[in-house]
Structure 1
Amino acid sequence: MATVLIPLAEGCEEIEAVTLIDVLRRAEIHVVTASLTDDLHITASRGVRLVADATLDAVIDDEFDMMVLPGGQPGTNNLNADQRIHALLKRFNQADKWLGAICAAPMVLAHGGLLEGLNVSCYPGALKPNEWPEVQFSNDAVVCDNKIITSRGPGTAMTFALTIIEKLMDEETRQQVETSLVIR
């Protein structure tokens, strides 16, 4: 069974976080949500209260196939300010594991030096091309380059989650989940 770590920071984008958790679990992917603090209760960017499965410290040494960062503000800034997140991103990258970031969260990957030479999608204005000349920016809803999957924002969260299913599992599982969601 594939495993995914989703860190939840205060001020994360709730549509992205909940969509990722829900859709990936529909594919029977083991998703672990982790609070950056000792409090498992997180207040998302629009005031929605989320409850994490564990603290980041409790699962930091566990093995996962992928880590996915929800965006939103100030959630993305909180992720970016946490050195444990940067250490995990480097560990996953060095182990050739999947990484994902949506909305403003590709900024965390950029600050970690993980986007150089890659095609990336993100929320408009979250990363300014003139400040990141080594990154190729795309307006596509979802971009997969190397083992990094990025996406534009709340409206692309479903497609982002389905793409993660396809990469971690297979196209058939993606199609089964997509059909059950009545997307088309």
Structure 2
Amino acid sequence: MMRRILMIISPRDFRDEELLEPKEILKKAGLEVVVTSVTGETCIGMFGTNVKPDYVIGEFKAMEFDAVVVVGGSGTPVLNKYDKVLQILRDAKKQNKILAAICLGPIVLAKAGVLKGKKATVFSSGISKIEDGGAQYVSDSVVIDGRIITANGPQSAKMFGNAIVSALD
């Protein structure tokens, strides 16, 4: 069966290349990529990319996916307000799925409580937030701790995508 990856984006101001670059790498590796948000409306990236989500959060379960990815961007912190987003991350962790987040995405993992005791990286403005969530901040581009993969920003998007592919091998 084809492995499925869930990518979560904010409705406004997700970081375009943090969605597009890893998504392309995942698809080239033969993985099915599903994009979701908290709305079924077209989502708009910081640089104007329009994306119509395949699903709205809550229309599926974590168990249907092999990995759950939180895309970054200045709009990402709004995801912390949605219990359904936090719940799918908690469920994915319980089910030993790969959890990945880039840029400000790791603060959503931290809010969900899935970074406790884990090494992680994040965009510089999010460091205190992931530490508040029990993570140990590491200033690398990409950090892998068990089944959790974090990256610090758009310049790491390709490395991040490749790390997810490797983790699924």
Instruction: Tell me the distance in 2 between the aligned counterparts of 1:4 and 1:130.
Output: 23
Larger radius of gyration: 1
Q: Is the counterpart of residue 36 in structure 1 residue 38 in structure 2?
A: yes
**Structure 1 position 8, deviation (Å):** 2.0
Q: How many residues align?
A: 167
Task: Give the TM-score, by structure 2 length.
Answer: 0.91
Instruction: Please state how far the C-alpha of 1:133 moved relative to its aligned partner.
Output: 8.0
Moved more, 63-72 or 111-120: 111-120
Match of 2:108? 108
In structure 2, the CA distance between the partners of 1:136 and 1:27, relative to structure 1 (3 Å rule), is same
Give ranges in structure 1 of 5+ residues lacking alignment. 170-184
1:47 aligns with 2:48: yes
In the TM superposition, structure 1's runs of 4+ consecutive aligned residues that sit over 4 Å from their partners are none
- State the TM-score, normalizing by the size of structure 1: 0.84
* Correspondence for 2:137: 137
| Identical aligned residues as a percent | 29
Aligned residue identity for 1:117? G
Output the CA distance in 2 between the equivalents of 1:87 and 1:129: 19
Deviation at 1:85, TM superposition (A): 0.6
1:18: which partner in 2?
Answer: 20
- What is the alpha-carbon root mean square deviation over aligned residues? 1.9
Instruction: Give the match's secondary structure for 2:134.
Output: coil
* Structure 2: gaps (5+ residues): none
Distance change (3 Å), C-alpha of 1:25 and 1:130: closer
Q: Which amino acid aligns with 2:152?
A: R
**Per-residue deviation, 1:73:** 1.1
Report the alpha carbon displacement of residue 57 of structure 1 after superposing the two structures with TM. 3.5
- Are the aligned partners of 2:68 and 2:99 in contact in 1 as well (CA < 8 Å)? yes
